[in-house]
Amino acid sequence: MATPAVAAAPSARKGETYTDTKRRDDVRGANIASARSVADAVRTSLGPRGMDKMISSGDQEVIITNDGATILSRMSLLQPAARMLAELSRSQDAAAGDGTTTVVVIAGALLRRAQSLLAAGAHPTAAADSLHRLAARAVQVLEGMAIPIELTDRDSLVKSASTALNSKVVSQYSGLLAPLAVDAALSVVDPAHPELLDLRDIRIIKKLGGTVDDTELVRGLIFDKKASHAAGGPSRIENAKIAVIQFQISPPKTDIEQSVIVSDYAQMDRILREERNYILGMVKKIKASGCNVLLIQKSILRDAVTELSLHYLAKAKILVVKDVERDEIEFITKTLNCLPIANIEHFREDKLGYADVVEEVSAGDGKIVKITGIRDMGRTATVLVRGSNQLVIDEADRSLHDALCVIR
């Protein structure tokens, strides 16, 4: 009986395995192509002659910017290599604040050359090793070109900040924003440790109205809200004694959900009277400490302050700013050189901050609260950014961030 024919397997030398090299090359090529497409998308926004991008999101939000990190953060990227370039831009923004478009464009150019090397038969590992040596050499060249700048050389710092602003939408305001960014950085840096400049010590407040020319550096605090003086409380306090509280000035409630049944009007009147006495006792203790300005942290469980509380505080001539966000408390207490108060029993004069003036002022179509003349003020600064529309304000905010990062 004849033996059936069997198809011969591909011949291979000892120690080798059969692999689908075509599929491997296709995957590598697809990765490079997707990454290059991302680089090409932002390449036209690079440099002083770069164009701005108009980005429209699904919720009809429109952004006009040429900031690479902002553009890439708004792009919907599914391919892993493309997402890696977006992460590269985000890392550059966190580390340096500027150059977010440049790093992506350079990465795209390097991938283009690497693709040519691979097509010529170069091994991927050899190409990667060459890029590592190239990076080390580039660092040496840049270090040789670098010029040390001292904190006392304000003109050089302003020029550096202006360079970062010249390619922005708000470049025509670089003469204002660059010195402002330098002054903000110099006001918070410790001369003994300039490398430890923390940009979180510079708070940027955006307020619609006016123009970018109205942007100002404030040696103090600004709250983008009006004072809570609905009950007739003060809107301006001189020789202010300021408390930052993290408790509620409202009737106490149980930790569990429950109902109280009131059978007659006498009991209802007693409950209301006890609530009034409780709140009045808290206000008296606050007033006894000498406090005349209250900054109340926003509560997620219930109202931090009630209308009855505001009425008693107004009678005591205490200015109230409520709904202060939790993540702002550290900056506020550092600026005021005071301590946050978590319980009414710990309300003492030694935990207060002091300022010359706390006042409510008009800004655009709304009002803000400004605290100036702070005694023993911490190393912080506040920048009030103004603009005719939200697009301009947001771009000015991003541009200021880039300038501050360059100075850092």
CB 264, CB 321: distance < 8 Å? no
Helix/strand/coil for 391: helix
Q: What is the pLDDT of residues 351-386, one digit of tens each?
A: 999 999 999 998 877 889 999 999 999 999 999 999
Is pLDDT of 5 > 80? no
Is pLDDT of 3 > 70? no
Tokens describing residue 379: 């190393």
Check if 101 is active-site: yes
Check if 402 is active-site: yes
pLDDT confidence of residue 385: 92
Average pLDDT of the residues of the chain: 84
Residues 70, 100, 215, 335: which is the catalytic one?
100
Of 187-196, 320-329, 341-350, the poorest mean pLDDT is in: 187-196
Amino acid at 203: R
Q: Cα(306)–Cα(248) distance, rounded to whole angstroms? A: 9
Is pLDDT of 4 > 70? no
Helix/strand/coil for 358: strand
Q: How far is CA 131 from CA 25, 107, 121, 334, in A?
A: 20, 11, 16, 46
- The β-bridge partners of 243 are 294
Q: What is the pLDDT of residues 139-159, one digit of tens each?
A: 999 889 988 888 888 888 898
| Rounded mean pLDDT, 229-240 | 84
Higher-confidence residue of 305 and 180: namely 180
Is pLDDT of 335 > 90? yes
pLDDT confidence of residue 24: 64
| Rounded mean pLDDT, 293-321 | 86
pTM value is: 0.78
Residues 65, 70, 101, 380: which is the catalytic one?
101
Is pLDDT of 18 > 50? no
Distance of CA 302 to the CA centre of its chain: 27
Check if 100 is active-site: yes
Domains (range + CATH), the chain: 21-143 (1.10.560.10), 220-251+265-376 (3.50.7.10)
Residues 67, 93, 201, 394: which is the catalytic one?
67
| Rounded mean pLDDT, 307-319 | 89
Q: What is the pLDDT of residues 76-132, one digit of tens each?
A: 888 888 889 889 888 888 877 778 888 899 988 998 888 888 888 888 888 889 889
Check if 163 is active-site: no
Instruction: Report the phi/psi class of residue 339: left, alpha or beta, with left for phi > 0 and alpha for psi in -120 to 50.
Output: beta
| Rounded mean pLDDT, 17-27 | 60
